[in-house]
Amino acid sequence: MSLWVIIPVKPLRYAKSRLSPVLQPEERFELALAMLRQVLAVSTALDSVAGVMVVSRDTKALAVAREFGAKTLQEGAASNLNPALMRATQVLKGWRADAVLILPADLPFVTRADLSQLIALARDDAIVIATDRAEDGTNALLLRPAGALEYAYGPGSYQRHIQQAAAAGLQVIRFDSESMALDIDVPSDLLDYQEMLAAGDFGHLPALSLDIEAE
């Protein structure tokens, strides 16, 4: 299997706007950049991956991707996520990729073990999918073959991807991982971020000075 990881990255300066009540713009930028570095460090270290491609309109994100040896695909100014992912998938199919794994850039605690276990579940005519804690979003999506379905990212994407896969006759394989389920979107997520950061070794991630009350 020739598997490529695709990491879509929003413009870093505008990332994580929902954290604005507790983090200043520069802090949000640095956090988004650090999470991207962490995801790149993990995904580019996998022997089971043929390559990694970062898709973004942000030149800083693309430059960081190249530091890790990843390929890059620059989005147009009017592009949005789902068409950009389809374009990247088509490029990789032209490079003889027969499977792709979509991995967001805001999964700070994803590990090599997570990705290795997820990839080991890949089957012909199947998707492997991981969701977030709310079971709303799609935190990882492996398609074999590449381009087997249309991407449907956005609120509620987890169920949409499952429904689309079923309609296309693809087997749906769910992958559960506590570390992969934590994406960083709202201030309360940062409490879990700090707790998990203190419990492990995540070289690219910064500690944060926060004043947040647990819900």
pLDDT digits (tens, 9 = 90+) for 63-74: 999 999 999 999
Report residue 142 as tokens.
Answer: 């492996």
Counted residue by residue, the chain has a size of: 215
The span from the CA of 160 to the CA of 5, in Å, is 21
**Whether the predicted pLDDT of 209 surpasses 70:** no
Average pLDDT, the chain: 92
- DSSP assignment letter at 167: H
> 103 pLDDT exceeds 90?
yes
| Dist. CA 7–CA 85, nearest whole Å | 9
| 20/95: higher pLDDT | 95
Query: Which pLDDT value is given to residue 155?
Result: 94
What pLDDT does 194 receive?
A: 86
- For position 105, what pLDDT does the model report? 94
Band of residue 214 on the pLDDT scale cut at 50, 70, 90? very low
Q: What backbone torsions phi and psi does residue 69 show, to the nearest 5 degrees?
A: 80, 15
58/148 Cα distance (integer angstroms): 28
> What CA–CA distance (Å, rounded) separates 63 from 31?
17
Q: Indicate if the pLDDT at residue 162 is higher than 50.
A: yes
Locate 162 and state its tokens.
């499952």
Instruction: Kindly state the tokens that stand for 92.
Output: 């990789």
**What domains does the chain contain, in order, with CATH numbers?**
3-198 (3.90.550.10)
